[in-house]
Amino acid sequence: MGHLSCLKVLIKHGADVNVGLNSKSPLHYAVQNLAVDCVKELLDNNAMPNTPQIFSETPLHIAAGLDGDAECAKLLLEAGAIVDSRNNKCQTPLHLAALSQCSETLELLLSKRADPDATDIDGRTPLHSSIVKVTRSCECVRLLLNAGANVNKPDAFGYTPLHLAALNEFSHCVMLLINHGGDVTVRTNGGISVLTFITRKTPDVIPKYIEKFDQAIKLNDHELGDVDCELKLDFRILVPTMGNKETELLLNFIEVGHKEVLKHPLCETFLFLKWRRIRKFFLFSLFYHAIFVFLFTIYVIGVYLKDCPSSRSRNSVCWVSAHIVNIGYFLICLNILLLGKELFQIAHSLIVYLKQWENWVQWMIIISVFCCVQPVPNMDVKEDVYEWQHHVAAISIFLSWVELMMIVGRFPIFGLYIQMFTTVSVNFGKFMLAYVCLFVAFALSFGVIFANYPAFKNLKWVLLKVVIMMSGELEYEDVFFDDQYKIKYPYTAHLMYFCFVLLMTVILTNLMVGLAVSDIQELQMCAGLDRLVRQAELVAHLESMLFSRLLSFIPGKLMQFFHKQALLLKSQFHWALYIKPNDPREERIPKDLIRRIYQLVVERKGRPRSKKIKKYKNSQFFDTISPAISRIGSCNSAVTINANKNNALKAQIDEINLEFLEYSKFFRLKMENLTNQILSNQI
């Protein structure tokens, strides 16, 4: 209870200061009640600061969790308390100090070399524990980060401190963690990234994070107007953790709905350079599929196409048929390799694989090729024996060429057109599904009214006939003025036919065309952004395949060679690009990108200077800023290089002199203000 005098009397008369040490000792109660004097008295009389049991709560745990001024914790540490002792939840005193938001105790424990990355029973570090209250979280987080805490360490559920900060809507804490290397691409065990939480809980962080992209582009040497002006593009902000997922951040921005980030000059330049490095692997895949489709086409022509010369004359052998056996064997081998590739992708990432419709098309192609390709086809067997194979071959060859078209469409220059086709096709399918009741209505009506007409006799083909009539093939004269097939119900037939023309051919068809045109216009308006999105997704897919753990059986040197060819930031010496925007020989990136990068630096350099000068004029206390040292360097180098620019140099020197005079004035005013403050305090 904090009764120091009573405590002294008891100790003087032989009371055991360590009584109840296995559960709760007197020192435990003294710390719990913040009785600092009693704690000191007990420790001076040889009270044990540590408990004999492993994973039990020590007095230091109590002090870290409750003490506000850290005095008890200091006394315990000086008496030999174990700084990293564990309680029943495997928490250290540093965990409890972080939970209690006691920055003084936290700082004290860290000064005694407490482990900032110690994990509790749930795998959480003190940095996880510090993110509980918005009032003092940032202060505790800053202390732990300065002590070297791992900012990206996940707990047992995959949550990093950044996950918790975003989930609790601590925007300032989120930015603090990001500025200390926090990775926003890390995912929980459930697959939720930090960026997803930030987008939903702390959206105000997104613009601040994108500002870091601007800061990654800076002037490196000479002035902006000089021919030798050099700009530096630092790509480390796009790759939070150096590794094999260089496009993960860009892919995350697309996932959370911020694909406009790809239009930033830094991101677009990174994608351009990354695609140029990794496209060789895509070209290999394209070449493989092209060979496969080409051979399959030759096989179908030689075996299934009726117009082949071999099917018209036994004595005239088609040139394809002469090599059809070899083609069949080779085609099956290529198909087996395709099967292996698809199985590899399934094993690599099943969920992602199932979401992509192109993979389902690829499986249909593989299965159908196995069904219709025979290594040794018997050309003398009657055609009806292979009737089912003709159906399969017709569908398979169609899908093969469609798949090849989709692969070619992944090229940035062709992607827009394939995207237009895909988008319009999907929307057309939704459109047809929405009006399926209308199609069935007219199909059944025509089946009843024109029952004697050949095109409407078979009910299962009537729906197809109705869809074809939408394209303009109405056959009005053939239906109503055919002497062989008389109209049985003339008035109703004319009325329903008129309704069909009005509703389906005029209204519905024009509506469908209008929707298609609007989709194309929208795609054209955002063509550049869609191209970057497809490019980022393709690069990320190729990167993921190349660095898959399933390729561990391949020799290490060979994989190292492939990885070296795929990575853009191969080491700490390759994380930046230096360009000379005013040099016409600069061709490493497109001219349009160079112009946008240059404009970004120009605008950013102009904005802060005007704001700071305005602040100086309106403020009582003046903050100092550095003189234009880069301009001085530019002048000196220019004098050395070209003596013919004397007039321009003199003007720049005069401008610099004026700036120095202005800054000296600011210094003088600030010194006077500080001197006046000191004098007033002394008075």
- pTM assigned to the model: 0.71
Which value, to the nearest 10 degrees, does the dihedral of the CA atoms of residues 588, 593, 598, 604 take?
-130
pLDDT band (50, 70, 90) for residue 177: very high
pLDDT (0 to 100) of residue 377:
53
Confidence check: pLDDT of 469 > 80: yes
- What is d(CA 158, CA 433) in angstroms, rounded to the nearest whole number? 42
CA angle 563/568/574 to nearest 5° reads 115
Q: Which residue has the tokens 């540590």?
A: 50
Q: For 133-144, what is each residue's pLDDT tens digit?
A: 766 678 889 999
Q: What is the pLDDT of residue 571?
A: 65
Say what angle helices 357-372 and 324-348 make with each other, to 10 degrees: 150
- Domain positions in the chain: 1-131, 272-408, 427-525, 619-682
pLDDT of residue 644: 43
User: Sheet of 230-234: strands edge to edge?
Assistant: 217-221, 230-234, 576-579
Tens of pLDDT, residues 629-671 = 333 333 333 333 344 445 555 656 666 666 666 556 656 666 6
- CATH numeric code, 1-131: 1.25.40.20
Position 12, amino acid = K
**Over residues 524-531, mean pLDDT:** 75
Which range of 142-156, 342-356, 474-488 scores highest in mean pLDDT? It is: 142-156
pLDDT tens column, 432-443? 888 888 888 988
What average pLDDT score do residues 282-295 get? 91
Confidence band for 353, pLDDT divided at 50, 70 and 90: confident
Percent of the chain past pLDDT 70, that is, above it, reads: 81
Name the phi and psi angles at 187, rounded to 5.
Answer: -115, 150
Q: Look at residue 271 and give its three-state secondary structure.
A: helix
pLDDT at residue 399 is higher than 70: yes
The residue among 368 and 51 whose pLDDT is bigger is 368
Residue type at position 394:
A
Q: What is the pLDDT of residues 483-516, one digit of tens each?
A: 777 778 888 888 888 898 888 888 888 888 787 7
Q: For residue 301, what are its two tokens?
A: 């022509």
- pLDDT(197) > 90: yes
Residue type, 614: K
Region 552-567 average pLDDT: 80
